[in-house]
């Protein structure tokens, strides 16, 4: 708020969906053996990181509420994705997931929540954790849910895939193209300030 003397968050972030954006979408990813990093994804993440963006994965994981996966299994999959990305030189700053689904079969997760995209809760939580300026950040994903969650937080949005969108700010064929679009719009701030 203006006039409060509170400093605005300064970090820029790219909020990334997981399945269909960074890794191959296999329906419901339930085993580490099924993880496939999409072509060009690691390189795109590396370039965004080098340009000063935080990389935060925000993903719906309703398989937990459906009883197909435990939260421990979700964390194991996250660790393996992180390992595979690091093997290709890419580093992700944080993983955030929503395990809820109103019609889920596991009662503790079967509820309406504020974190299941298109609700903005996951992005808002990640932004608080990492001191992110949402107006200077991007939300990238392969569904309208991802776009809507980004819009609700004030991020610029990129929809990946071949579909048209009435809501996304930009369209990209894959994460590699999305990364190029972001970097065209947002040059590295260090190059403008003269910092080494």
Contacts of 194 (CB under 8 A, 6+ apart): none
- 129 assigned to active site: no
Which one, of 144, 153, 184, 155, lies nearest residue 60 by Cα?
144
Q: Which of 19, 72, 131, 190 is catalytic?
A: 19
Within 13 Å and on the Cβ side, how many CA atoms surround 125?
16
Asked whether the beta carbons of 50 and 14 are under 8 A apart, the reply is: no
Is 142 designated active site? no
From 117, 26, 100, select the one nearest 65 (Cα to Cα).
100
- Classify residue 140 as exposed, middle or buried by CB count within 10 Å of its CB (0-12, 13-18, 19+): buried
Angle at 167 between CA 161 and CA 172, to 5 degrees: 25
Q: Which of 83, 99, 14, 96 is nearest to 54 (CA)?
A: 14
Query: Catalytic one among 17, 25, 34, 129?
Result: 17
Active-site residues: which are they? 17, 19
């Amino acid at each position: 708020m203006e006039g409060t003397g509170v400093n605005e968050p300064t970090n820029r972030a790219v909020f990334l969906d997981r399945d269909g954006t960074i890794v191959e979408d296999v329906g419901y990813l339930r085993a580490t053996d099924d993880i496939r990093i999409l072509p060009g994804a690691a390189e795109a993440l590396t370039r965004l990181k080098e340009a000063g963006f935080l990389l935060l994965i925000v993903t719906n994981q309703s398989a937990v509420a459906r009883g197909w996966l435990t939260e421990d299994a979700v964390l194991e999959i996250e660790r393996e994705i992180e390992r595979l990305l690091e093997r290709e030189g890419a580093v992700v700053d944080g993983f955030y997931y929503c395990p809820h689904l109103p019609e889920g079969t596991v009662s503790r997760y079967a509820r309406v929540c504020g974190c299941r995209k298109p609700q903005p809760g996951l992005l808002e939580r990640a932004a608080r954790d990492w001191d992110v300026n949402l107006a200077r950040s991007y939300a990238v994903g392969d569904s309208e849910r991802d776009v809507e969650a980004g819009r609700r937080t004030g991020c610029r949005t990129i929809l990946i895939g071949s579909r048209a969108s009435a809501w996304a700010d930009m369209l990209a064929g894959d994460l590699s193209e999305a990364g190029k679009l972001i970097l065209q719009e947002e040059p590295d701030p260090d190059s403008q300030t003269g910092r080494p």
